[in-house]
Structure 1
Amino acid sequence: MSDRERSPLFLPVIYLGGLVFGLGLAISGMARPEVVLDFLQFEDFGLLFVMGGAAVVSGIAFAVATRYLGDAPLTAREYTRRVKELDQNVVIGGVIFGVGWGISGICPGAAYASFGIGNYPILWAIAGMFLGAYTQGYARSLIGGNGVEI
């Protein structure tokens, strides 16, 4: 099955997944920047349990799917692992991401959920994320790189 033959359920399932993700973040309180900042200051470890629970569920799902399914049911692509080496760009990008997370108190997924629960000032952080990603892409195009490296 080629990409053109992917399931007609592809987009509705992606939408449903995002809806469940956002609902989970909102219910757990992780869509509130002050809760995330409390975690980063070692005052509230709820985020650890939310992330740990998500990692366990995702790990089991991927382990089962890659072992027992030949192709992804919605995209019809073969299950493969994307192996990325730990290079300077991963480290620098991770540090920049962490600083942005610490300053804003929110990561990208939670920022959208935070907006969804009525935290409209979070739009400044979302705009900053887009500007940062655009700046990196623009810098890469000036250098002439094909990958994400700058």
Structure 2
Amino acid sequence: MYKENNIPPEKKRLLKALSCSDSTWILSYYLSSIIKEKSLISQKDTATAIGGVALKPVGRYVAWNFFKSNFDLLYEKSGKEGWSWKNLVEDLTSFFNTEFYYQELEQLSESKADKSAAKFKSALTETRTKIQWLSKNYQSVVDFLEEEQFPVAELL
């Protein structure tokens, strides 16, 4: 269906549907198919496919690890600016709110500085802001929810 379709919005919907699995191995397989030489996913749709996986709770870590492991190949495939790196990095890092992920992002940014410095600057700033907000407000939010008898333990 995807390959035969020539309508960009419909292709985008199909790519997002492909990322809806709850199985990490299926999502991993889907992502690995993107970088194959004869991939069914077109080069210009690579970021949409990866971002679709990254925006699903079960796919966040799968997509991030795939991106880190295949950064150079993805960079080459994108034609440097062939698709929106900014949007992809936003999708991949939207759930980052811990020092661990900040360090991973910073390390990737530094190790690929020749290719990525500007692409990761905004994500690093956003992640740092989330960490600071959580540090300042986490306990207040938990206390409020407990006062309202919200089942906080189920969320943590």
Instruction: Provide the TM-score with structure 1 as the length reference.
Output: 0.28
Instruction: Provide the TM-score with structure 2 as the length reference.
Output: 0.27
Relative contact order (alpha carbons < 8 A, sep ≥ 6): 1 or 2 greater? Answer: 1
